[in-house]
Amino acid sequence: MKRIDAIEIKMKDMERLVNEAGQREKVMLGRIEYLETIRGQCEILTNEMMTGQKAMQREINHLRTEIHNQQDETRKLAVLFSARSSDDNKDLVGPDENMNANTEVKLNGTSNLGIKGIKPPCMDHKRIKPPCMVHKRASSVQVAFSAYISHRELHLGINQVIKYDALLINDGNHYNPHTGIFTCPEDGLYLFSFFTASNGSHKNWVRLVLDDVNISGATSEGTRDHHDDQGGNVAIFRLKAGQSVWTAIETRDDAELDADSDFRHVTFSGVRLGS
């Protein structure tokens, strides 16, 4: 009997433990369901935020494009205005232009000589443009820029325009650091230089582009870890107002530019040499 009583007590204890485990399971299932609900709400909020971020990025890109187009129009209008202003300016002449070359010579300020067709050499007036008064028309547009990348650029794609975000000089504001594009304000002869850099086993090919036409290229090819390499090129060619020049990644996807703000060795520069 004692053994039967002991077994019954153990069975009751086990039944109690089973009931407690069932209650705990229900509590845990409730918590899991609550956490699943929270996770679903977080996913919805995350998707909404990502959708809003993409919409904002599209709007930002649209605004940047509009700003770039407005800047181009402003530059073109400035060039046109400068050209018209230059055409309106006439060369200066000497102060004797309006004097009459047929003025009769007077003696002692009292009477005319009465001799026609004879004038002293000192009174032989001619229209003369003194050298010091003749102004040569010069360019009214200052064009020079030099920019560099201030941080390491990763995952660049083929034909992607390289944006040099930091400026050393930008006379005339014809280079746009937000787009990486230089827009020509005035016809003339221009010089451009650009440099690329790589670290380790990364290899970069960069090209100089004029309105989607390749002008020249440069490469930097590391051969091993902790090996730095740099390459660049220089080109001189003629531009017309409104044409655009930039640099872009060539023939290699997922490219990297080993740039920093201290050494400033990834650069893009240009200057107008003359007409």
Q: Are 111 and 219 in contact (CB under 8 A)?
A: no
Q: Are residue 153 and residue 222 in the same domain, yes or no?
A: yes
Q: Are residue 40 and residue 100 in the same domain, yes or no?
A: no
**Distance (Å, rounded) from C-alpha 185 to C-alpha 187?**
7
Q: Are residue 152 and residue 265 in the same domain, yes or no?
A: yes
Count: domains in the chain:
3
Last residue of a domain, one of 121, 136, 151: 136
Matching residue, tokens 């490469």: 219
**Distance (Å, rounded) from C-alpha 184 to C-alpha 191?**
12
Helix/strand/coil for 32: helix
Q: Are 218 and 194 in contact (CB under 8 A)?
A: yes
Q: Are residue 142 and residue 156 in the same domain, yes or no?
A: yes
The CATH number of the domain holding residue 234 is 2.60.120.40
Provide the residue type at 84 as one letter: R
Nearest to 268 by CA among 194, 171, 198: 194
Tens-level pLDDT at each residue, the chain (275 residues)? 777 877 878 888 888 888 888 888 889 898 898 998 898 898 898 888 888 888 888 888 778 777 777 877 777 777 777 666 555 554 444 444 444 444 443 434 444 444 444 444 444 444 545 444 444 444 557 899 999 999 988 888 899 999 999 999 999 999 999 999 999 999 999 999 999 998 877 788 999 999 999 999 999 887 767 778 889 999 999 999 999 999 999 877 778 888 888 889 999 999 999 98
Q: Are 206 and 247 in contact (CB under 8 A)?
A: yes
3-state helix, strand and coil shares in percent for the chain, rounded to the nearest 5: 35, 30, 35
Q: Which domain holds residue 65?
A: 1-89
Q: Are residue 150 and residue 269 in the same domain, yes or no?
A: yes
Both tokens of residue 70? 């407005």
**Distance (Å, rounded) from C-alpha 161 to C-alpha 167?**
17
Q: Are residue 179 and residue 251 in the same domain, yes or no?
A: yes
Last residue of a domain, one of 73, 107, 136: 136
0.75 exceeded by pTM: no
